[in-house]
Amino acid sequence: MTSGTATRRVSGLDWRIEAAHGALLERLAPGTSSRRLRWSRGKTRVLEVGDGPPLVLVHGAFDNAALWAPILAALAKSHRVLAVDLPGHGLADPFDYEAVDLATVSATFLGDVLDGLELDQVDLVGCSLGGFVTTVFALGAPERVRRLVLVGAPLGVTRDVPTPLRVLGLAVKLPVAGRALGRLALGRPTREKMRTLMGQIAVAHPEALDDEMLDADVLCQLRNRDVHLGVLRSFGTWRGMRLRRELCLGERWAELTVPTVFLRPERDVFVSAPVETAWAGIVERNTGIRVVHVADAGHLAWLDAPEEVARGIENALAPDAVVVA
């Protein structure tokens, strides 16, 4: 992995993450470059590979841009692929999610990133929290988004939260002991602990996860633990760790004018019965949105089925792709 980053002071942990991601990307997506990019509330990191129409990838909560590595090379055959770290994730600057309105920050962040990359219009792919970020941006600036692909259930459809996140979310919101419990839960990650957690909430086949990717993710969890805890606290209410009402897009899904495909993993724990029902209503009200199923895959579907997901993204972005469901 080549670097477009100017000389800067970084921590030893940052160097270890850069080295781990560099080795991972050199193996899975040779030629990927990395650079720091300023936005209005700090700096983030952008990974770039390939030539062609610009395609921006936005990961989910607790993840990072390098997690897209298994499909970068495939997508780079026909696109200039740009994977960005969300604020406070990966190698981005720290960020306080509890002090902001997430929808406003989503629009500002992506707008600033596209401006910094000098891109007027792009295709967007988002997963989970990244799905919320990209959808909110597409709602506010549809002229800047050609097509939108949601891989794995996006935040903002219903108020449901999967059981593992609900338990941790309740713990970190305890008024006195919450921060200590949260730091204990996230403070000592290991490769196998990460594999187990991802098997609970992110993938259908944790045994097949790349060891080097897990090791790099452990380093990111150590670096960004406090931000991740803030994300958890910012999502939920005090009653039952349900998603805050203001994070549910509701009828705004019907206002989405950008052609959109939801690559729906069949084993996504974030797609409960209420979420499934909600998606049926969304598609019925907005014929510019369609759902394509991905067999035997979890929430981060491309980690279970990289070839199928890359093909699904390419099909969704094709000039002659079907828009009407």
Q: Which tens digits make up the pLDDT trace of 107-120?
A: 999 999 999 999 99
* Angstrom distance (rounded) from CA 192 to CA 214: 8
Residue 237's pLDDT is 54
Strand runs (DSSP E) across 145-237, as ranges?
145-151
Tens of pLDDT, residues 177-212: 334 434 434 557 899 999 998 998 899 999 999 999
pLDDT-based confidence at residue 23 (cuts at 50, 70, 90): very high
Instruction: State the greatest distance between any 2 C-alpha atoms of the chain, in Å, as a whole number.
Output: 56
The number of beta carbons lying within 10 Å of the beta carbon of residue 233 is: 16
SS3 label, residue 145:
strand
Asked whether the predicted pLDDT for residue 5 surpasses 70, the reply is no
Could you tell me which residue, 322 or 67, shows the higher pLDDT? 67
Tokens of 147: 């097509």
pLDDT-based confidence at residue 173 (cuts at 50, 70, 90): low
